[in-house]
Amino acid sequence: MTTKRKKKQHYVFKAYLKPWTEKRKIWCLRSGEVFPSSLERVACERFFYRSCPLTEEEQKFIDKVMIEEAPEPLKGVLQKFMGLYCFGQRIKENSKSPAWNPEHEQLIDVLIETGAEDWLSGVEEMFLPFLEQLRDGKAEFYKDYKSAGALLLGLCVQFTRTKQARETSLRVMGQEIRGRNTHHMMSALAFLVAIRLSYNLFSDRESFKVGIIENESDAPFITTDQPVINMHGDVKADGVPPDEFELFYPLSPKRAMVFLKKETSVQLEIGAIAANSYNVTMAQHSHEQIFSNSKEYLESFAKIIGGTGSGNRLRSW
Protein backbone atom coordinates (compact mmCIF):
# COMPACT_ATOMS: atom_id res chain seq x y z
CA MET A 1 0.00 0.00 0.00
CA THR A 2 1.31 3.45 -0.89
CA THR A 3 1.76 6.02 1.85
CA LYS A 4 1.19 8.93 -0.55
CA ARG A 5 -1.56 11.22 0.71
CA LYS A 6 -3.70 12.51 -2.17
CA LYS A 7 -4.99 15.59 -0.39
CA LYS A 8 -6.63 17.31 -3.37
CA GLN A 9 -9.52 15.07 -4.41
CA HIS A 10 -11.59 15.82 -7.50
CA TYR A 11 -15.35 15.37 -7.68
CA VAL A 12 -15.20 15.87 -11.47
CA PHE A 13 -12.43 13.74 -12.91
CA LYS A 14 -9.77 15.50 -14.92
CA ALA A 15 -9.88 13.27 -18.00
CA TYR A 16 -13.52 14.26 -18.47
CA LEU A 17 -12.69 17.99 -18.53
CA LYS A 18 -9.81 17.78 -21.04
CA PRO A 19 -11.86 18.62 -24.17
CA TRP A 20 -12.55 22.04 -22.66
CA THR A 21 -8.85 22.81 -22.17
CA GLU A 22 -6.36 24.61 -24.37
CA LYS A 23 -2.67 24.56 -23.51
CA ARG A 24 -3.59 22.74 -20.29
CA LYS A 25 -5.88 25.56 -19.16
CA ILE A 26 -9.65 25.62 -18.79
CA TRP A 27 -11.80 28.73 -18.50
CA CYS A 28 -13.82 28.78 -15.28
CA LEU A 29 -16.73 30.97 -14.21
CA ARG A 30 -17.10 31.23 -10.44
CA SER A 31 -18.85 33.92 -8.40
CA GLY A 32 -19.25 36.04 -11.53
CA GLU A 33 -15.53 35.99 -12.38
CA VAL A 34 -14.04 34.32 -15.47
CA PHE A 35 -10.45 33.10 -15.14
CA PRO A 36 -8.11 30.43 -16.57
CA SER A 37 -7.13 27.48 -14.40
CA SER A 38 -5.33 24.18 -14.55
CA LEU A 39 -7.41 21.03 -14.13
CA GLU A 40 -5.61 20.39 -10.86
CA ARG A 41 -7.30 23.40 -9.26
CA VAL A 42 -10.95 23.02 -10.24
CA ALA A 43 -13.82 20.83 -8.97
CA CYS A 44 -11.80 19.53 -6.05
CA GLU A 45 -11.56 19.77 -2.28
CA ARG A 46 -9.12 18.65 0.37
CA PHE A 47 -9.85 15.04 1.38
CA PHE A 48 -13.36 15.28 -0.11
CA TYR A 49 -13.79 11.47 -0.04
CA ARG A 50 -12.27 10.80 3.39
CA SER A 51 -14.29 8.05 5.08
CA CYS A 52 -15.82 9.18 8.36
CA PRO A 53 -16.11 6.89 11.39
CA LEU A 54 -19.70 5.70 11.61
CA THR A 55 -21.49 5.02 14.86
CA GLU A 56 -23.39 1.78 15.28
CA GLU A 57 -26.66 3.67 14.80
CA GLU A 58 -25.37 5.33 11.62
CA GLN A 59 -24.31 1.98 10.18
CA LYS A 60 -27.71 0.48 11.05
CA PHE A 61 -29.43 3.40 9.31
CA ILE A 62 -27.37 2.93 6.15
CA ASP A 63 -28.04 -0.82 6.19
CA LYS A 64 -31.77 -0.27 6.63
CA VAL A 65 -32.32 2.36 3.95
CA MET A 66 -29.80 1.17 1.35
CA ILE A 67 -28.96 -2.52 1.76
CA GLU A 68 -31.42 -4.71 3.70
CA GLU A 69 -34.21 -4.78 1.13
CA ALA A 70 -31.99 -4.76 -1.97
CA PRO A 71 -32.37 -7.80 -4.24
CA GLU A 72 -29.55 -10.25 -4.82
CA PRO A 73 -26.94 -9.94 -6.24
CA LEU A 74 -27.15 -6.17 -5.61
CA LYS A 75 -27.34 -6.68 -1.86
CA GLY A 76 -24.02 -8.53 -1.85
CA VAL A 77 -22.37 -5.79 -3.93
CA LEU A 78 -23.57 -3.10 -1.52
CA GLN A 79 -22.41 -5.08 1.52
CA LYS A 80 -19.00 -5.60 -0.04
CA PHE A 81 -18.64 -1.90 -0.77
CA MET A 82 -19.56 -0.94 2.81
CA GLY A 83 -17.06 -3.46 4.12
CA LEU A 84 -14.32 -1.82 2.06
CA TYR A 85 -15.48 1.69 2.96
CA CYS A 86 -15.39 1.00 6.72
CA PHE A 87 -12.27 -1.21 6.67
CA GLY A 88 -9.70 1.47 7.55
CA GLN A 89 -11.75 3.00 10.36
CA ARG A 90 -12.44 -0.43 11.88
CA ILE A 91 -8.77 -1.37 11.87
CA LYS A 92 -7.87 1.92 13.52
CA GLU A 93 -10.53 1.51 16.20
CA ASN A 94 -9.59 -2.09 17.04
CA SER A 95 -5.80 -1.98 16.76
CA LYS A 96 -4.48 -1.36 20.26
CA SER A 97 -1.81 -4.07 20.38
CA PRO A 98 1.82 -3.33 21.39
CA ALA A 99 2.85 -4.15 17.80
CA TRP A 100 0.96 -1.10 16.55
CA ASN A 101 3.39 1.61 15.46
CA PRO A 102 3.40 5.00 13.69
CA GLU A 103 4.10 3.38 10.30
CA HIS A 104 0.98 1.24 10.63
CA GLU A 105 -0.96 4.33 11.68
CA GLN A 106 0.19 6.19 8.57
CA LEU A 107 -0.83 3.35 6.27
CA ILE A 108 -4.30 3.19 7.78
CA ASP A 109 -4.69 6.98 7.59
CA VAL A 110 -3.91 6.84 3.87
CA LEU A 111 -6.54 4.11 3.42
CA ILE A 112 -9.11 6.21 5.28
CA GLU A 113 -8.26 9.36 3.33
CA THR A 114 -7.92 7.91 -0.17
CA GLY A 115 -9.60 4.50 -0.25
CA ALA A 116 -12.89 5.81 -1.64
CA GLU A 117 -11.08 7.91 -4.24
CA ASP A 118 -9.08 4.85 -5.29
CA TRP A 119 -12.39 3.02 -5.85
CA LEU A 120 -13.58 5.96 -7.96
CA SER A 121 -10.36 5.86 -9.98
CA GLY A 122 -11.15 2.24 -10.85
CA VAL A 123 -14.64 3.23 -12.01
CA GLU A 124 -13.17 6.06 -14.10
CA GLU A 125 -10.66 3.72 -15.73
CA MET A 126 -13.45 1.33 -16.67
CA PHE A 127 -15.66 4.17 -17.92
CA LEU A 128 -13.08 6.11 -19.96
CA PRO A 129 -13.03 3.89 -23.11
CA PHE A 130 -16.79 4.35 -23.45
CA LEU A 131 -16.51 8.09 -22.87
CA GLU A 132 -13.99 8.26 -25.72
CA GLN A 133 -16.37 6.36 -28.02
CA LEU A 134 -19.18 8.76 -27.14
CA ARG A 135 -16.88 11.68 -27.95
CA ASP A 136 -16.29 10.10 -31.34
CA GLY A 137 -20.06 10.02 -31.89
CA LYS A 138 -20.39 6.28 -31.30
CA ALA A 139 -22.99 4.75 -28.96
CA GLU A 140 -23.51 1.29 -30.44
CA PHE A 141 -21.65 -0.31 -27.51
CA TYR A 142 -24.74 0.28 -25.34
CA LYS A 143 -26.28 -2.80 -26.98
CA ASP A 144 -23.65 -4.97 -25.25
CA TYR A 145 -24.77 -5.67 -21.68
CA LYS A 146 -21.28 -5.49 -20.13
CA SER A 147 -20.54 -2.19 -21.85
CA ALA A 148 -23.94 -0.84 -20.85
CA GLY A 149 -23.21 -1.75 -17.23
CA ALA A 150 -19.87 0.08 -17.25
CA LEU A 151 -21.43 3.14 -18.88
CA LEU A 152 -24.31 3.32 -16.42
CA LEU A 153 -22.14 2.89 -13.34
CA GLY A 154 -19.79 5.61 -14.58
CA LEU A 155 -22.66 8.01 -15.27
CA CYS A 156 -24.38 7.36 -11.95
CA VAL A 157 -21.16 7.78 -9.99
CA GLN A 158 -20.59 11.14 -11.68
CA PHE A 159 -24.19 12.07 -10.92
CA THR A 160 -23.92 11.42 -7.15
CA ARG A 161 -20.24 12.01 -6.30
CA THR A 162 -20.17 15.81 -6.62
CA LYS A 163 -20.22 18.57 -4.06
CA GLN A 164 -23.52 19.76 -5.52
CA ALA A 165 -25.10 16.33 -4.95
CA ARG A 166 -23.75 16.22 -1.40
CA GLU A 167 -24.93 19.72 -0.49
CA THR A 168 -28.38 19.08 -1.97
CA SER A 169 -28.71 15.86 0.03
CA LEU A 170 -27.68 17.64 3.21
CA ARG A 171 -30.33 20.32 2.62
CA VAL A 172 -32.98 17.67 2.08
CA MET A 173 -31.99 15.33 4.92
CA GLY A 174 -30.79 17.91 7.44
CA GLN A 175 -27.64 17.80 9.54
CA GLU A 176 -28.98 15.00 11.73
CA ILE A 177 -31.49 12.16 11.47
CA ARG A 178 -32.55 11.23 15.00
CA GLY A 179 -29.07 11.82 16.35
CA ARG A 180 -27.25 10.35 13.36
CA ASN A 181 -24.74 12.70 11.72
CA THR A 182 -25.83 13.07 8.10
CA HIS A 183 -22.49 14.53 7.02
CA HIS A 184 -20.64 11.47 8.34
CA MET A 185 -22.92 9.18 6.34
CA MET A 186 -23.05 11.25 3.16
CA SER A 187 -19.93 9.97 1.37
CA ALA A 188 -20.94 6.33 1.82
CA LEU A 189 -24.55 7.08 0.85
CA ALA A 190 -23.45 8.82 -2.37
CA PHE A 191 -21.61 5.70 -3.54
CA LEU A 192 -24.40 3.35 -2.49
CA VAL A 193 -27.00 5.45 -4.31
CA ALA A 194 -24.84 5.39 -7.46
CA ILE A 195 -24.52 1.59 -7.31
CA ARG A 196 -28.25 1.09 -6.69
CA LEU A 197 -29.26 3.58 -9.38
CA SER A 198 -26.96 2.04 -11.99
CA TYR A 199 -28.28 -1.44 -11.11
CA ASN A 200 -31.89 -0.31 -11.57
CA LEU A 201 -31.13 1.40 -14.87
CA PHE A 202 -29.18 -1.63 -16.06
CA SER A 203 -32.10 -3.92 -15.19
CA ASP A 204 -34.38 -1.66 -17.26
CA ARG A 205 -31.81 -0.83 -19.95
CA GLU A 206 -34.01 -2.05 -22.81
CA SER A 207 -36.38 0.83 -22.03
CA PHE A 208 -33.66 3.44 -22.62
CA LYS A 209 -31.50 4.65 -25.49
CA VAL A 210 -28.28 6.63 -25.80
CA GLY A 211 -28.19 9.55 -28.22
CA ILE A 212 -25.41 11.89 -29.33
CA ILE A 213 -26.28 15.58 -29.81
CA GLU A 214 -24.17 17.35 -32.43
CA ASN A 215 -23.73 21.07 -31.75
CA GLU A 216 -23.42 22.73 -35.15
CA SER A 217 -23.34 26.29 -33.79
CA ASP A 218 -20.57 28.62 -32.68
CA ALA A 219 -21.96 28.56 -29.12
CA PRO A 220 -19.96 25.81 -27.38
CA PHE A 221 -21.46 23.40 -24.91
CA ILE A 222 -20.30 24.25 -21.42
CA THR A 223 -19.91 21.82 -18.56
CA THR A 224 -19.95 22.35 -14.79
CA ASP A 225 -18.98 20.90 -11.44
CA GLN A 226 -22.19 18.85 -11.77
CA PRO A 227 -21.47 17.32 -15.20
CA VAL A 228 -24.35 14.81 -15.30
CA ILE A 229 -27.85 16.20 -14.79
CA ASN A 230 -31.36 14.80 -14.79
CA MET A 231 -33.22 16.86 -17.38
CA HIS A 232 -36.41 16.44 -15.32
CA GLY A 233 -34.82 17.57 -12.06
CA ASP A 234 -36.08 20.83 -10.55
CA VAL A 235 -33.23 22.65 -8.77
CA LYS A 236 -35.76 24.58 -6.66
CA ALA A 237 -37.80 21.55 -5.50
CA ASP A 238 -35.65 20.29 -2.61
CA GLY A 239 -36.96 17.02 -1.24
CA VAL A 240 -39.31 16.40 -4.18
CA PRO A 241 -37.98 13.57 -6.37
CA PRO A 242 -38.60 14.00 -10.10
CA ASP A 243 -41.13 11.74 -11.80
CA GLU A 244 -38.79 11.01 -14.72
CA PHE A 245 -35.08 10.25 -15.03
CA GLU A 246 -33.33 11.17 -18.28
CA LEU A 247 -29.75 12.39 -18.41
CA PHE A 248 -27.86 15.11 -20.22
CA TYR A 249 -24.06 14.85 -20.25
CA PRO A 250 -21.80 17.26 -22.20
CA LEU A 251 -18.94 15.39 -23.86
CA SER A 252 -17.06 18.31 -25.43
CA PRO A 253 -17.84 21.81 -26.71
CA LYS A 254 -19.35 20.20 -29.82
CA ARG A 255 -21.04 17.03 -28.54
CA ALA A 256 -23.27 15.89 -25.69
CA MET A 257 -24.86 12.61 -24.68
CA VAL A 258 -28.48 12.08 -23.74
CA PHE A 259 -29.80 9.00 -21.94
CA LEU A 260 -33.50 8.84 -22.75
CA LYS A 261 -36.58 6.69 -22.54
CA LYS A 262 -37.05 5.03 -25.93
CA GLU A 263 -40.25 6.94 -26.60
CA THR A 264 -38.57 10.33 -25.94
CA SER A 265 -37.57 12.30 -29.01
CA VAL A 266 -35.00 15.12 -29.06
CA GLN A 267 -33.25 16.92 -31.89
CA LEU A 268 -29.75 15.50 -32.35
CA GLU A 269 -28.41 18.23 -34.64
CA ILE A 270 -28.82 21.61 -33.00
CA GLY A 271 -28.02 25.28 -33.48
CA ALA A 272 -27.18 28.15 -31.16
CA ILE A 273 -30.61 28.55 -29.54
CA ALA A 274 -30.76 24.92 -28.43
CA ALA A 275 -27.09 24.90 -27.37
CA ASN A 276 -27.63 27.99 -25.23
CA SER A 277 -30.76 26.45 -23.72
CA TYR A 278 -28.85 23.32 -22.69
CA ASN A 279 -26.10 25.53 -21.26
CA VAL A 280 -28.57 27.47 -19.14
CA THR A 281 -29.94 24.21 -17.74
CA MET A 282 -26.43 23.01 -16.94
CA ALA A 283 -25.64 26.29 -15.17
CA GLN A 284 -28.79 26.06 -13.07
CA HIS A 285 -27.70 22.63 -11.81
CA SER A 286 -24.10 23.67 -11.07
CA HIS A 287 -22.73 24.21 -7.58
CA GLU A 288 -20.16 26.99 -8.00
CA GLN A 289 -18.07 26.37 -11.13
CA ILE A 290 -18.90 26.50 -14.85
CA PHE A 291 -16.32 25.51 -17.47
CA SER A 292 -15.73 26.36 -21.12
CA ASN A 293 -13.03 26.40 -23.76
CA SER A 294 -14.02 29.99 -24.59
CA LYS A 295 -13.34 33.00 -22.37
CA GLU A 296 -15.57 35.18 -24.54
CA TYR A 297 -18.53 32.81 -24.30
CA LEU A 298 -18.26 32.53 -20.50
CA GLU A 299 -18.04 36.30 -20.14
CA SER A 300 -21.24 36.75 -22.15
CA PHE A 301 -22.84 33.84 -20.32
CA ALA A 302 -22.04 35.38 -16.90
CA LYS A 303 -24.14 38.41 -17.85
CA ILE A 304 -27.13 36.13 -18.41
CA ILE A 305 -27.05 33.88 -15.36
CA GLY A 306 -25.98 36.30 -12.65
CA GLY A 307 -23.36 34.11 -10.94
CA THR A 308 -23.18 30.37 -10.61
CA GLY A 309 -24.71 27.80 -8.37
CA SER A 310 -27.87 25.78 -7.89
CA GLY A 311 -31.09 27.71 -8.30
CA ASN A 312 -29.66 30.65 -10.23
CA ARG A 313 -32.15 33.19 -11.47
CA LEU A 314 -31.68 34.01 -15.12
CA ARG A 315 -31.48 37.72 -15.94
CA SER A 316 -32.62 37.46 -19.54
CA TRP A 317 -31.90 35.53 -22.70
DSSP codes joined into one string, 193-207: HHHHHHHHHHHTGGG
Strand runs labelled E in the chain: 8-10, 21-22, 25-30, 33-37, 44-46, 176-177, 180-181, 208-215, 223-224, 229-230, 247-250, 255-261, 269-270, 290-292
Which domain covers residue 130, as residue numbers?
48-203
Answer whether residue 317 is part of any domain. Answer: no
Cα gap 193→70, rounded to integer Å: 12
Does residue 308 carry a pLDDT above 70?
no
Q: What digits encode the pLDDT tens for the residues 180-192?
A: 999 999 999 999 9
Q: Which of 184, 203, 222 is the last residue of a domain?
A: 203
Question: Within 10 A of 223 (CB to CB), how many other CB atoms are there?
Answer: 29
Q: Which of 203, 219, 247 is the last residue of a domain?
A: 203
Same domain for 191 and 72?
yes
User: Which H or E element spans position 30?
Assistant: strand 25-30
Answer whether residue 2 is part of any domain. Answer: no
Same domain for 170 and 214?
no
Same domain for 65 and 16?
no
Answer whether residue 159 is part of any domain. Answer: yes
pTM of the model: 0.92
Same domain for 190 and 221?
no
Same domain for 52 and 197?
yes
On average, the pLDDT of the chain sits at 91
Does residue 261 carry a pLDDT above 70?
yes
Q: Which of 170, 203, 236 is the last residue of a domain?
A: 203
**pLDDT (mean) for 47-63:** 94
Q: What digits encode the pLDDT tens for the residues 201-224?
A: 999 999 999 999 999 999 999 999
User: Which H or E element spans position 115?
Assistant: helix 102-135
Number of domain units in the chain:
2
